[in-house]
Structure 1
């Protein structure tokens, strides 16, 4: 438990200097795919086949994406992405990228919350975190990584980042 807290603290320190582009979540969401199905009554759209979702510098790529608009309210979409893996990319205000991958991702636009599940990995400036589940609060740059039953959270810190501190 102590190692888990230390790892999380180190990760937060590493990302504290790089904030997500401040206007990403204020941008429209663009989705390209091979197919699209719409259920108007349930406010659910399913995109499949080479799905590319963009919102500002946020770029999510997946085999399938399901967008649900809760109670039909614009700006409160839940986006579930599935792939082998699905990927996440975003630029920080300092121009440096953060990348993630997992078999399942959930992005909640209203709360700017990303949850990556199953073989999740998040990479920033060469350092990476791997775990069963990684949650990432985009606007606050807060990250939590959890291990699975037979795996542990793995963090790789690059020496050049440690020397900058």
Structure 2
């Protein structure tokens, strides 16, 4: 398992080559309906929800944004499936799907949960849980303590 995680880390994009710093971009959300709860500082969006922040795009059926102090810190998206895209380099795209996605804006961390799949450079990573750390350019899949939840990876040969 340690060898697998090392391979995943080596294949991920280098963060210094990212197109833009997503964390410093505004968060744009579009949906069919929105509900804000002032007591809990949460907003709930439903119906063809789209979240865009810099080069990141998330599409979901429902999205809950947690905004203590008026600034969005965490977003949880639900869908059949939730989809995300990001363009870390000009000629590269990483995208994925899952039943649920948690996005921690300050850490630029996306956690895909439930039938999670991530595609990058023709490679495919599938697991029940996948973390995509945009700052470090890392993909972590699976749970090291579980023998029943397997990680499935398809690696394409390098082209000259």
Q: State if a TM-score over 0.5 links the two structures.
A: yes
Distance in 2, matches of 1:5 and 1:94, equals 31
Following TM superposition, by how much is the alpha carbon of 1:152 offset from its aligned partner in structure 2, in angstroms?
1.1
- The TM-score with structure 2 as length reference comes to 0.90
Matched residue, 2:10: 13
Distance in 2, matches of 1:17 and 1:111, equals 16
Following TM superposition, by how much is the alpha carbon of 1:36 offset from its aligned partner in structure 2, in angstroms?
0.5
Secondary structure of the structure 1 residue equivalent to 2:111? strand
Distance in 2, matches of 1:73 and 1:94, equals 33
Within 5 Å, give how 1:83-102 maps onto structure 2.
83-102=79-98
Within 5 Å, give how 1:46-57 maps onto structure 2.
46-57=44-55
Which string of whole-angstrom CA distances, capped at 9 and with x for unpartnered residues, describes residues 59-113 of structure 1? Answer: 000000000013x152x51100000110110001343100011000000111111
Alignment gaps of 5+ in structure 2: none
Matched residue, 1:30: 28
Distance in 1, matches of 2:100 and 2:147, equals 18
Equivalenced residue count is: 157
Distance in 2, matches of 1:57 and 1:17, equals 15
Give RMSD over aligned pairs.
Answer: 1.8
Does 135-144 or 99-108 show the bigger shift? Answer: 135-144
- The TM-score with structure 1 as length reference comes to 0.87
Distance in 2, matches of 1:152 and 1:145, equals 9
Alignment gaps of 5+ in structure 1: none
